[in-house]
Chain A
Amino acid sequence: MNQQDFNKKFIESIRNGQNEEDLIATMKNFPRLSSSRALDVYREDYQARLSDALKNTFRSVHAILGDEEFYRLARSYMNVFPSTFSDLDDYGDQMDDFLSGHSLEEDFPFLSQLAHFERMFRIIFHSEERQGLSVLDLQAALTDENVRLRLVSSTLVLSYHFSIEKIYSSSLSDDDSPFDFHSPQNILMFKKDGLVKMHLLSNDQSEMLKKFHTPLSFSDCIKIAPATMTPAEMQTLFQIIGQEQILLKS
């Protein structure tokens, strides 16, 4: 068997146990380590490395499921999605899709959305911090009809059917007091001072802020504001925008 064929068969063997006899026929036994045991060593190492990478990204999912269930999940994920990444830490980009409709959601119906939240958290953590307009600059920009504003790139507006932020923070803390996780939640996630920060938003605030993914003038924004949005909600939203500097001139 040439090296190219060996490499392919070896990878298949590590992933799903195929080709073991072919490979062993090519491998040299060592006194301390048989070829069969050597394959196991690489197989165990592969599973451990990828599982640990998933555990690092999905800390809250891991905390909720516990080691045994999480590693079972990780192995089933690996069977479907091999890594195509050069950085192992990037592995797991399909986890929320994978969990959607998964049997684990019978007990934890929020699991897919929690995984999505954790993946977004990681994206913002590694993003370049961009500073938007200060309160004063924002006030000036809001009165200028020609100025269009958009969200800075290190900002996300996320909507979930469950209280994801509460589930996330309580799963990673010692706080085990019960709460109703069924309340939908809108989350503004952004980067400031090197940290990932969040604000909870109402549905109307979230809907309005999402519109700034494409550049808008303030008057456009007012025109398309949800009809149910109260002046107080509008005021709070613009306080957050100014304070956290999340809008830029386009």
Chain B
Amino acid sequence: MKNVNGPLLTNIYGVGLRNVHFSYLEQSHQIAAGWFEIITENFFRTKGRPRTVLEKLRKDFPISCHGVSLSIASYEDFDWVYLNDVKNFFAEIEPCLISDHLCFTGLRQNNLHNLLPFAYNEENLSHLSSRIHQVQEFFGRKMGFENLSAYFDYKNSTMTEWEFIRELLKKTDCNLLLDLNNVFVNSYNHGFSPDDFLKAIDFEKVQQLHMAGYSERENFYFDTHSNPLYPQLIELYKKVIHHRNDIPVLYEWDEDIPEFPVLEQQIIKLAEVRAELSK
């Protein structure tokens, strides 16, 4: 499978494009972000304002498309109408990166709109490998698949999450969208060291990083994308930089979304961390 991802991101720090920021972005402010990521499903069928704003932005910024409804771990056939529309959308938008999640999202007639975990075992490794091959063939390019935040595991998992991902990356030629927030949240909730996760990853196959702020619930962490960077996330990012320092980084904020400059402050902080380590 060809890697047609590009153009090269010169400013590796991006943010998620959300409609509450449309007016701000349309006023042509100086933007610290080097690129934007969209939720594919929020844009691929609209011809309204979201699409108009996207068309303006893509003249000046690379756009990555991040899907939430592929349901790669489902045991139903793909929704080919959906896939076809997404493929046509990619042809129009020419995203620099495309991605979705390592999860199932429900059934075709009952989409839970959540990113649901599956058992990390040989059966699912083989199943996902075949589906990833199928969907990459259809799109004609490599995809990145994001590790989840999950609130349970299965008794019939025979591997850890990172062992499964390592094997999946070996078995297929897809990339990893490494969500550091999800690694951290899972490590806290499930009781493992995030270092074990990072050690297992082939960083040459990481096409981008996601970072976000979780929230606290009772005695566990919940992946809400609703807060600024936590120091623990910065520490994890430093560890990634030791492996590879040119991976595109995206900051996501989806609940209680602040003014755009607050979002920019997060990526500026990350860029400063990287610059400091490069001295």
A89 and B42 contact, CB distance less than 8 A: yes
**Least distance between B38 CB and chain A CB atoms (Å):** 12
Which residues of B have CB within 8 Å of A30?
152-153, 189-191
Contact residues of A between 76 and 132, Cβ < 8 Å to B: 82-89, 91, 125-129
**Least distance between B238 CB and chain A CB atoms (Å):** 26
Q: How many Å lie between the Cα of A54 and that of B272 in the bound state?
A: 40
B113 and A27 contact, CB distance less than 8 A: no
Question: Is A249 interfacial (CB-CB < 8 Å)?
Answer: no
Which residues of A have CB within 8 Å of B108?
84
Q: Which of B115-123, B132-140, B166-174, B176-184 contacts A (4 or more CB under 8 A)?
A: B115-123
**Least distance between A78 CB and chain B CB atoms (Å):** 10
Q: Which of A2, A3, A84 has the most CB of B within 10 A?
A: A3
Tally chain A residues at the interface, Cβ within 8 Å: 43
A7 and B75 contact, CB distance less than 8 A: yes
User: Are A126 and B189 CB-contacts (below 8 A) given A26-B154, A30-B153?
Assistant: no
A14 and B42 contact, CB distance less than 8 A: no
**Least distance between B274 CB and chain A CB atoms (Å):** 32
Query: Count of A-B contacts with CB under 8 A?
Result: 116
Candidates A14, A27, A129; contact of B152 at CB < 8 Å: A27
Which residues of B have CB within 8 Å of A8?
107
Candidates A10, A11, A38; contact of B151 at CB < 8 Å: A38
Tally chain B residues at the interface, Cβ within 8 Å: 47
A42 and B49 contact, CB distance less than 8 A: no
Q: How many Å lie between the Cα of A213 and that of B220 in the bound state?
A: 56
**Least distance between A16 CB and chain B CB atoms (Å):** 11
Q: Which residues of B contact A (CB under 8 A)?
A: 41-42, 44-50, 52, 69, 73-75, 79, 82, 104, 106-114, 116, 118-119, 123-124, 127, 151-157, 188-191, 217, 219-220, 222
8 pairs, A vs B, C-beta closer than 8 Å: A3-B73, A26-B154, A32-B220, A46-B112, A82-B109, A82-B110, A88-B111, A88-B113
